[in-house]
Amino acid sequence: MSEHNLAELEDRIASESAFVDDLLDEIGRVVVGQRYMIERLLIGLLADGHVLLEGVPGLAKTLTVRTLSDAIGTDFQRIQFTPDLLPADLLGTQIYNQKTGAFSIKKGPIFTNVILADEINRSPAKVQSALLESMQERQVTIGEETFPLDDLFLVLATQNPIEQEGTYPLPEAQVDRFMLKIDVTYPTGDEELEIMRRMARTDESASVDAVASPGQILQARTVINDLYIDERVEQYIVNLVLASRDPGAYGLGELEPLLEYGASPRASINLNLAARAHAFLRHRAYVTPEDVRAVAQDVMQHRLVITYEAEAEQVAAADLVDRILSSVEVP
């Protein structure tokens, strides 16, 4: 790309990404801390990728998702997944009208913009598959009719890492459909103090203003596609993914007994998209290796299948991603 074209692109990015800071500030008025989670949710939103959140209860996951939805002026639905939930409860169903003798369609809560699928692993495989198929195909079939979902359609699912009794863990092939998996952590001491001061009240919480629109988000997705990414950065993305499949070829032979399966091709696609969105959040017109490294853990960790030996040695997939990042040469 010529300097002239890059300068034009930088001006365009500066203009199109101006709403990002307003969005972060507005969410920060309600949500204390959790900057990492908020940025990753925005990356999923801007890169058109769904996000899996894992964390103990009480870490403001629902509050953050609802606040994000309000701040961009979109419809929001929270669905509590339970063992007795049926696919029809999610997608909708056909209702028979005795007077007319015809069926009508009653659409389910999936027909919205932002969905919080709370404790997705508490529902059986049929319900999980119904949601994940909608995520992949961006459409829902009820009876013989197929309905497209909105262009702005984002699924944010949560898992509780503590209570595993009575849950139905997501199969690896289904987890792979999430662009990012975020480990939500506890707040710091100062953040905890601020949370207590804000929330230990009986009056209503702060309202959220819509500081961005769905149209701006969709326009930003178009702009992100135009960000400049050098061939060496593209090759770096591919090398990170290949190192998870064939560690020995990248001087990581000690990882071979610990890895059952490496990352799928979706990993390289999503690494590229997420790195672009990460650069966009920083108002840059080009992608750097640091953008890739910043999102690599969230894109790759849930796509690695570790062996029983790794579990016995208490080595997590996140540890393996860290070792790959520290060993693969950075351009």
Q: What are phi and psi of 284, to 5 degrees?
A: -105, 150
> What pLDDT shows up at residue 1?
56
pLDDT at 203: 62
State the pLDDT confidence band at 30, using cuts at 50, 70 and 90: confident
Q: What is the CATH number of domain 31-86+112-199?
A: 3.40.50.300
Q: What is the mean pLDDT of residues 201-229?
A: 82
Distances (CA, A) of 325 to 43, 252, 283, 320: 20, 11, 25, 9
Mean of the per-residue pLDDT values of the chain: 85
Q: What phi-psi label fits residue 202: left (phi over 0), alpha (psi between -120 and 50 degrees) or beta?
A: alpha
Partnered with residue 159 across adjacent β-strands are 54
Q: What percent of the chain clears pLDDT 70, i.e. is strictly above it?
A: 95
pLDDT exceeds cutoff 80 at 103? no
Confidence at residue 287, expressed as pLDDT on a 0 to 100 scale: 92
pLDDT at 273 over 90: yes
State mean pLDDT over 294-307.
91
User: Greater confidence, 211 or 162?
Assistant: 211
Reduce the DSSP state of residue 101 to 3 states and report it: coil
Domain 31-86+112-199 identical in fold to domain 227-327? no
Q: What is the mean pLDDT of residues 209-215?
A: 84
pLDDT tier for residue 96 given thresholds of 50, 70 and 90: confident
**Ramachandran sector of residue 73 (left: φ over 0; alpha: ψ -120 to 50; beta: rest):** left
On the question of pLDDT at 113 being above 70, the answer is yes
Confirm if 299 and 39 have CB atoms less than 8 A apart.
no
CATH class given for the domain over 227-327: mainly alpha
Comparing C-alpha atoms, which of 77, 103, 102 is closest to residue 90?
A: 77
- Name the residue ranges covered by the structural domains of the chain: 31-86+112-199, 227-327
pLDDT at 163 over 60: no
